[in-house]
Amino acid sequence: MVEESEKQRPADNVEATILALVTERAGKTICPTDAAKAIARDRGEDDLAWRRWLSPVRTTAKGLARQGRLVIYRKGKPADPDDFRGVIRLGLPRSD
């Protein structure tokens, strides 16, 4: 069952889920679909509902990348959050 507070603030849920997943997998990246599927699962939605969360995940990832809290990787290299297309991965900033 979805609580009213989750309906009112889906962006907070998306951000929290992305950050939790990349933190759990420190040193590795995640696919945006991993976050979308986790959000749908946490909300008790059906197996295909994750697709509607993919766009909010990508949009939230761009915002987090602009803040320096997340890195968007394209072909294994950091990508400009305002200028990328295609398949991406999400990860924590690296200090190397």
- Topology of domain 9-91 in CATH is Arc Repressor Mutant, subunit A (1.10.10)
Q: What residues are paired with 74 via a beta bridge?
A: 77
Residue 44 CA, distance from chain mean position: 18
pTM of this prediction exceeds 0.75: yes
- Residue 17 CB partners (closer than 8 Å, separation 6+): 35, 38, 39, 42
Question: How does pLDDT run across 26-59, given as a tens digit for each residue?
Answer: 889 999 999 999 999 999 998 899 999 999 999 9
Question: How does pLDDT run across 50-91, given as a tens digit for each residue?
Answer: 999 999 999 999 999 999 999 999 999 999 999 989 999 999
pLDDT at 4: 45
pLDDT at 28: 94
